[in-house]
Every structure is written in C-alpha cells, then in structure tokens.
Amino acid sequence: MTEPKPNAEPSPDTAAAPQTEAGAPEVGREGAPERDVHSVIEALAAENAQMKDKVLRTLAEMENLRRRTEKEVADARTYATTNFARDILTVADNMRRAMETLGEEARAAAEGAYKGLVEGIELTERDLLKTLERHGIRKIEPKGEKFDPNLHQAMFEIPDPSVPNGTVREVMQAGFVIGDRVLRPALVGVAKGGPKAAGEPQVDRQA
C-alpha cells in the first residue's frame, strides 16, 4: 500500500482560484455594466430635454413671427392710404369752408339754381365723408367734449365758468383719425375758468 506524499503540489484547478479572506473565490464586478446603462439613459434623457427645449423655443419664435407678420399686413391694409387721405382732407376742408362762407341764413333762403348748388355741395361733402369712413378714416368734431391732447390741438383759451375747465368750446378745424392713429388733430378753443374736470389733462397751448 502506497502512502500519500506529504508535500504534494495543489492541482491546477485549485491553484487557479484566488482565495478571499474567508477562503472563498473572489466575485467579479457584476455591477459595472448596470452603472454604464444608467449613465447612457441619463445622457439620453438630458439630450432629449435639450432637444425639447430647442423645439419649444423654435415654435415660440415662429408663433411670434406669425403674429408680427399678421399685424404688419393688417397695418399695411389700414394705413396704406394715409398720404392719399391727407391730400383728400384738403378737398373736404374747402367744401366745408364754402358752406360756412354762405352762412346758414343764405342757405335757408336759397331758391332755384342757387338752392340746387348749395344742396349739391352738401351732398358731395356727405358722400365724401362716408367714402372716407368706409376706408377707416373718421372725422372728429369734439365741440362740448373734454380736451384730449392725443386728438386735439388747443389754439386758444375761452373764459367760460359755465362748463368744466378743459372743455372744447370751439372747433376751428375738424380732425380726422385713420384706424387707431391721428391723421390730423382737431384745432380747438378750450374753456377756462370753470370747475376743474376730473383727470384734467395739461393743455398744449399754441399761439
């Protein structure tokens, strides 16, 4: 019977397995692939958020551009005739001056051809104003209204304690607006000496 050798070398399988402190083989780094997946997911999520932000910004810019374009087109339609309208106002002014020159009594007493002429001038003036209104041009005659420096230009003051201070008492020349803009301010005389109106504006006086 052969006795085992006391100094026998360990088998190759036993020598290949590293030992832990407890004598068990060391476990490999199984958590590393999972951490790599999490990193990729986080990077993709960040990229997605960045792309979403860019898309939202682009959409907002496009919407702002659309609104600006629509406003510019609307303004072009409304105010394209501004220069032409200013020239036409001269015609309207001359017709009004012609009627004022005749006087109310002369117009009331007119007969025959003279009466037809007066009525023709009045009719032409009314048609002209209606035509201007169809194109967004409106006449303003603020007599008796509160002075508005955005629409009126004060030429002089009229002492009148019977009405609130700043009331338009006389209109020397009618004003016109086109859309929301003043085409020509009304030239007015403003009352002074009466009770102060609520929120009374500063009157721009010109000699």
**pLDDT in the model for residue 189:** 94
Together in a domain, 144 and 201: yes
Are 145 and 206 contained in the same domain?
Answer: yes
Domain that holds residue 128: 81-135
Tokens at 98, concatenated: 């012609």
Look at residue 194 and tell me if it is in a domain. yes
Q: Are 72 and 129 in the same domain?
A: no
The answer to whether position 4 is within a domain reads: no
What's the whole-number mean pLDDT along residues 47-65?
A: 91
The answer, yes or no, to whether residue 204 has pLDDT greater than 70, is no
Domain identity same for 128 and 94: yes
User: Per residue in 124-178, pLDDT tens?
Assistant: 999 999 999 998 899 998 999 999 999 999 999 999 888 899 999 999 999 999 9
Asked, for residue 14, whether it belongs to a domain, the answer is no
Is residue 178 in a domain?
Answer: yes
Let me know whether 130 and 160 are in one domain: no
pLDDT category at 83 given cuts 50, 70, 90 is confident
Least confident of 80-94, 103-117, 181-195: 103-117
1 inside domain: no
pTM (predicted TM-score): 0.60
143 shares a domain with 130: no
Q: 50 and 90 share a domain?
A: no
Residue 85 and residue 75 share a domain: no
72: in domain: yes
Is the pLDDT confidence value at 121 over 70?
Answer: yes
Per-residue 3-state assignment (H helix, E strand, C coil) for 40-56: HHHHHHHHHHHHHHHHH
- Specify whether 197 is located in the same domain as 169: yes
For residues 119-123, average pLDDT: 89
Q: Please check the confidence at residue 28 and state whether its pLDDT lies above 50.
A: no
Give 97-153 as a DSSP string. HHHHHH-HHHHHH--HHHHHHHHHHHHHHHHHHHHHHHTTEEEE--TTSBP-TTTEE
User: Do residue 148 and residue 194 come from a single domain?
Assistant: yes
In a domain, 25, yes or no: no
Higher local confidence (pLDDT), 162 or 21 = 162
List all residues 6 or more positions away from 193 whose beta carbon is below 8 Å from its beta carbon: 159, 160, 161, 165
Domain of residue 190, CATH code: 2.30.22.10
What pLDDT is stored for residue 74 in this prediction?
81
Same domain flag for 157 and 201: yes
- The domain tally of the chain equals 3
Dist. CA 12–CA 178, nearest whole Å: 103
Report yes or no: 188 and 172 within 8 Å, Cβ to Cβ.
yes
**Does the pLDDT value for residue 30 go beyond 60?**
no
For residues 152 and 182, membership in a common domain is answered with yes
Spatial distance between the Cα atoms of 62 and 68, rounded to a whole number of angstroms: 10
Cβ neighbours, 10 Å, residue 205: 11
Position 169 in a domain: yes
Q: Residue 201 has what pLDDT?
A: 52
Q: Which of 29-33, 120-124, 129-133 has the lowest mean pLDDT?
A: 29-33
Structure-model confidence comparison of residues 182 and 98, the more confident one = 182
